[in-house]
Amino acid sequence: MHTTSDDNPRSRPDEAIVRAIVKEGKSDLYGILYDRYSNKVYRKCISFVKDESVAQDMVQDIFLKVFFQLAKFKGNSRFSTWLYAITYNFCVEHYRKSSKVKQVEIGDHHDHADDDLEDLEILRYRVDQLKLALDRIDPSEKKLLLMKYQDDISIKEIMGELDISESAVKMRLSRARQRVKMVVQELELEEV
């Protein structure tokens, strides 16, 4: 008997697996999504909390949350984008609860003329500088930068996941890049 790749659930795209779970009740397929993404989710969690056991607990909590919210996945973006947005939001919320840091909402007005130059500047920082800087900035800023540069999520997808306007995304990214730039400059002064 000849089998096609469609016969093997592991070869199905994420969105097809989600549909099978939600519409056909095939919850046993959820393990495939877990296997595909648990290491990436773990890496994102550990970058926020720096504690392996806490990060592992967070991964379990995130995947439970995702499982119960699968019916809310609309398919407007890739499943991975949706999962990473939930992961980032969970990590930021965990950070806020553990550090009791107050967040200030940023307005939607910004001139985006220098965004491309800022992108290039961020990419030129040494990896060690960037890691230290990301650990020192606000978690919501870190979330945006990681979504844009690490996960290569488009502005449009970020807009959809965060439910904010394009100008708000660009303005927040610009402010986050400026904050990283300031922290890197501080780090360079500390090295002298």
Calpha distance 85→105 (Å, rounded) = 18
Core vs surface per residue 112-144: b (16+ CB within 10 A) or e? eeeeeebeeebeebeeebbebbbeebbbbbbbb
SS3 letters across 59-100: HHHHHHHHHHHHHHCCCCCCHHHHHHHHHHHHHHHHHHHHHC
Q: What are the pLDDT digits (tens) for 6-15?
A: 568 888 999 9
How much is the pLDDT for 126? 59
140: its two tokens: 């919501």
Residue type, 30: Y
Q: What are the pLDDT digits (tens) for 55-89?
A: 998 999 899 888 888 888 888 889 999 999 899 88
Q: What are the pLDDT digits (tens) for 96-151?
A: 777 654 333 333 444 444 555 555 555 455 566 677 788 888 988 888 888 887 77
Calpha distance 89→162 (Å, rounded) = 9
Q: What are the pLDDT digits (tens) for 141-186?
A: 888 888 887 777 888 888 888 888 989 988 998 898 888 888 877 8
Q: What are phi and psi of 8, to 5 degrees?
A: -95, 110
Calpha distance 159→166 (Å, rounded) = 6
Residues whose CB falls within 8 Å of the CB of residue 74, separated by 6 or more in sequence, listed in order: none
Residue type, 103: Q
Cα-atom radius of gyration of the chain, to the nearest Å?
19
Tell me how far CA of residue 78 lies from CA of 21, 37, 45, in angstroms: 16, 13, 20
How much is the pLDDT for 93? 84
Residues whose CB falls within 8 Å of the CB of residue 20, separated by 6 or more in sequence, listed in order: 9, 12, 26, 29
Instruction: For residue 164, give the 3-state DSSP assignment.
Output: coil
Q: pTM of whole model > 0.85?
A: no
In whole angstroms, what separates CA 92 from the centre of its chain? 10
How much is the pLDDT for 14? 92
Residue 2 pLDDT > 60:
no
How much is the pLDDT for 4? 45
Residue 34 pLDDT > 70:
yes
